[in-house]
Amino acid sequence: MSSNNPILPNPAQSSLPASSPHEPGRFSGISLPQPRSAHRHPLLISLTYVLGGLFWLWALNPRLTAWLDPNHVSSSLFAVWSSTLLIVASGGLLYGLLKSYHSMEHRARQAQDLRLTHLMEQMADTAFIKDRRGYYLYLNAAGARQMGRTVTECLNRDDSALFPAGVASTLIADDRRVIADGTLLVRESTFAIEGDTHVLSFTKWPYRDTDDNILGILGIVRDLTPKRSLEQRSPHDCANLETCVQQRTAQLVGINQALERQIAARIQMEIALRESEERFRQLAEHIREIFWVYGMAEERLIYISPAYEEVWGHSIEALHERPRDWIEAIHPDDRPRVEATVQLATQTTGRVDEEFRIVRPDGALRWIWARGFPVRDDAGYVYRIAGLSEDITARKLAEDQLRRQQVELTRMSRLSLAVELASNLAHELNQPLAAIVAYTQACLTLLRQTPTDPRLLTGTLEEIANQGLRAGEIIRHLRELVYRHPAAQGTVDLNALIHSVLHYAQVELRQARISVKLALADALPMVSADDIQIQLVVLYLIRNAIEAMNEPETGPRELTVSTAQLDPASALMTIRDTGPGFDPTLEDQLFRPFFTTKPGGMGLGLSVSRSIIESQNGQLWATPNPDGGASFHFTLPIQAHP
Ligand code: ADP
């Protein structure tokens, strides 16, 4: 096998596709002429067939000459037939061997062709195969791109159909020279195509079959335009380029330094973050409060600080094993309420604010105040709840003590009022009573004397009557002292007032586990009253309600305070409780001084409250609730506009 070009591959050696011009084969989707060598197999086979036959004829029939002898016709005929059969069999065998060799060779060629096609398709330069006439049989994708056409548009067309006449004529002339000379051609040409100057390097060589027959042209075209334009730049351009490169380098150095600074800052930040996390961890692990984090996706506590073990008396490991461990330690009376809050928090609000009791393994009761806050991601989605749980047992005990002291103080003050009242009464009444006794004794002495003129008794009896009247005056005066409340008339916002009174009473309400409902009227006009005295009345009514609901057998403990505008001239406030209520026939008696049904009661609260409200041009009354409990109502005049 010959090669006309020692550097570039010989098409015959490269096993390009094998198919005849009459019987086109496939090569990367195009038709290529098949090298003739492949079609010489049948000829070779026929030749081998005849030579084999003659050999067997000579080898097996040495008496060939005898065959010509008429005496040996029959044996000669047999020899001819047997020789013929052997010739046919040997020929068939040889044909089969050649056929299988040929198909193996064909498959190997196909594989090589595929690899070559792949290689040509990967090239950045144009690669092509033309037939002898200069028609494109193959063009790679880079070539089509360079020509600004599709591969299909270029195939089976020559350069005159694809390039301007001036360009095409040069290319066609080169092709003809390659075909005529059968040698490699290398040319660098500058073409003006559609106003653009292109510098192209052509390398073309003949495409031959195994017999060195030229089937067409193989070629590679490289676009040197960018390279040449760089080379052709003037020294001034080069200097500019140098400056540009220097500027760009300086920019890149700047960017690099900024990046380095950013990386350093980020590292600093990460260190700071780690340090702050560490500080936070140390803080969380040393504070007395229990710090905890609940994960919404995980549906469990994902962190709890060691204080949990101290307060709950349960281990954190046990909590990790049984996530409900903390909740099962809650006092049975408080557990449903806490569970409801936790459910609401984990499903929607993310907020927790609950006080509850836990029972430690040693049976001790502890009061806990748990608060939780939602932690949101950038999209505002609550993905965690972070919280603190505090052991408030000491505070609760202090509150209890305070409450007991308050109650005691109230009882004492009531007692001392009663004592003071009684001693005042005793002191004030002592004198008229002594006078009455003395006058009565004088009358008796006179009556015992006989005869006695009854008219002498008139003056003494008048004195007795006077002293009796004086005693009545004293009692009335004392009552006035009790009930007289000098009022400082001003403007009062009843809705605001109820908030401050509830604030005073919040400890008592919480301890009695009473829930408060407010039903306050919007835009309630101001009333004309003494703010402090009305606060005392409301506090008194609320304390009565708490005491009423503290009775053991009462059911739900609910205090409802409502306000309303009753008519254009007056506003109404109602304090409603769910205590045992009162007998409706006793409604009037409740407001009498010293009426009480409580063991340590004074029976003055309601009567004093009524006198205060009436002194401020309002009314106070009570009604039993249809569904149990009592309601106390009072009105006050709406502040007249000046
Ligand atoms: P005290 O509270 O010292 O008994 P009060 O004048 O405040 O005196 O109350 C008088 C009585 O009215 C109480 O003893 C009680 O019987 C009744 N009373 C007051 N408030 C309520 C209430 N909210 N529910 C039922 N009864 C009440």
Q: Give the model confidence (pLDDT) of 366-399 as tens digits.
A: 999 999 999 998 888 889 999 999 999 998 888 7
- Whether 542 lines ligand 1, by a CB cut-off of 6 Å, is no
| CA distance between the termini of the chain | 127
Question: Tokens 């949101």 label which residue?
Answer: 376
Q: What is the pLDDT of residue 266?
A: 84
- Whether 593 lines ligand 1, by a CB cut-off of 6 Å, is no
Q: Show the beta-strand stretches assigned E in 404-538.
A: 490-492, 515-519, 527-529
Among 9-13, 76-80, 82-86, 505-509, which stretch is predicted with the lowest mean pLDDT?
9-13
Instruction: Say if CB 637 and CB 527 are below 8 A apart.
Output: yes
pLDDT at 212 over 90: no
- Whether 411 lines ligand 1, by a CB cut-off of 6 Å, is no
- The residue that leads in pLDDT, 507 or 497, is 497
Residue nearest to atom 23 of ligand 1 (CA): 545
pLDDT at 329 over 70: yes
- The residue that leads in pLDDT, 307 or 195, is 307
pTM of the entire structure? 0.38
Question: Considering Cα of 84, then 86, then 90, then 93, what sign does the dihedral take?
Answer: positive
Residue from 538, 586, 596, 620 whose mutation best tests the ligand 1 pocket (most atoms within 8 A of CB) = 596
Q: Give the model confidence (pLDDT) of 266-307 as tens digits.
A: 888 888 788 777 777 777 777 888 999 999 888 888 889 999
Q: Give the percent of the chain with pLDDT over 70.
A: 76
Instruction: Count other C-beta atoms under 10 Å from residue 130's C-beta.
Output: 25
Residue nearest to atom 12 of ligand 1 (CA): 590
Average pLDDT over residues 510-537: 90
Alpha helices (H) along 61-185: 64-67, 73-122, 141-147, 151-154, 159-162, 165-181
Q: What is the pLDDT of residue 605?
A: 85
Mean of the per-residue pLDDT values of the chain = 80
pLDDT at 27 over 60: no
d(CA 31, CA 34): 9
Residue 453: C-alpha distances to residues 243, 292, 464, 466, 501 (Å): 150, 100, 18, 22, 68
- Whether 628 lines ligand 1, by a CB cut-off of 6 Å, is no
Instruction: Say if CB 327 and CB 336 are below 8 A apart.
Output: no
- Whether 578 lines ligand 1, by a CB cut-off of 6 Å, is no
> 70: burial class by Cβ within 10 Å (0-12, 13-18, 19+)?
exposed
Q: What is the pLDDT of residue 35?
A: 45
pLDDT at 333 over 70: yes
Q: What is the pLDDT of residue 421?
A: 67
pLDDT-derived band at 1 (thresholds 50, 70, 90) equals: very low
Q: Give the model confidence (pLDDT) of 531-570 as tens digits.
A: 878 888 898 899 999 999 987 666 789 999 999 999 999 9
Q: Give the model confidence (pLDDT) of 457-468 as tens digits.
A: 888 899 899 888
Distance of CA 412 to the CA centre of its chain: 60
Task: Give me ligand 1 centre to Cα 597, in Å.
Answer: 7
Q: What is the pLDDT of residue 191?
A: 85
Q: What is the pLDDT of residue 69?
A: 52
Q: What is the pLDDT of residue 511?
A: 85
Go through the domains of the chain in sequence order and give each one's CATH number.
1-122 (no CATH), 127-232 (3.30.450.20), 287-391 (3.30.450.20), 397-483 (1.20.120), 490-637 (3.30.565.10)
Both tokens of residue 347? 């499903």
Q: Give the model confidence (pLDDT) of 79-117 as tens digits.
A: 666 667 677 766 667 776 777 666 776 676 676 667 777
pLDDT at 135 over 90: yes
Task: Give me ligand 1 centre to Cα 600, in Å.
Answer: 11
Q: What is the pLDDT of residue 21?
A: 36
d(CA 370, CA 350): 13
- Whether 579 lines ligand 1, by a CB cut-off of 6 Å, is yes
Q: Give the model confidence (pLDDT) of 37-71 as tens digits.
A: 444 455 665 666 666 666 666 655 655 545 545 55
d(CA 348, CA 363): 34
Q: Which atom of ligand 1 is nearest to the CA of 629?
A: 24
> 69: burial class by Cβ within 10 Å (0-12, 13-18, 19+)?
exposed
- Whether 545 lines ligand 1, by a CB cut-off of 6 Å, is yes
- Whether 543 lines ligand 1, by a CB cut-off of 6 Å, is no
Q: What is the pLDDT of residue 488?
A: 65
- Whether 624 lines ligand 1, by a CB cut-off of 6 Å, is no
pLDDT-derived band at 169 (thresholds 50, 70, 90) equals: very high
